[in-house]
Amino acid sequence: MAQSQKSSATDDDLGRQIEALKSDVSDISKTLAQMGAERRDETVDGVRRAASGLRARGADAADQISTGGMALGEEAADAVRRNPGSAMALAVGAGFIVGLMTGRR
């Protein structure tokens, strides 16, 4: 009879330990899920910041190109106003060369 009482006590202890392990595993799972969510949020924030920076740099580059293109166009218009004869000769020469390159033989 003493044996069965020891066996019963051991079974009860084992049951309590299993329940404690289940609880610990559950807590670990919750902690890991929380850590994963935090990392995900940090990563998303980092990607958003990087995208915002790239968007700003792209807008700056587009503005610079636009400004440069307008300045180049103004310079060309000024050159044509200063030297209309040279501009006309240059246009005729360029047209002639393009015509030769694209014309039939």
**C-alpha pair distances (Å), 57 with each of 44, 52, 53, 61:** 20, 9, 6, 6
pTM: 0.47
User: What is the pLDDT at residue 25?
Assistant: 92
SS3 96: helix
Contact 87, 80 (CB under 8 A): yes
> Which residues of the chain fall below pLDDT 70?
1-9, 105
Alpha-carbon span 76 to 91, nearest angstrom: 12
User: What is the pLDDT at residue 60?
Assistant: 93
SS3 53: helix
Looking at the chain, the number of H-run helices and the number of E-run strands are 2, 0
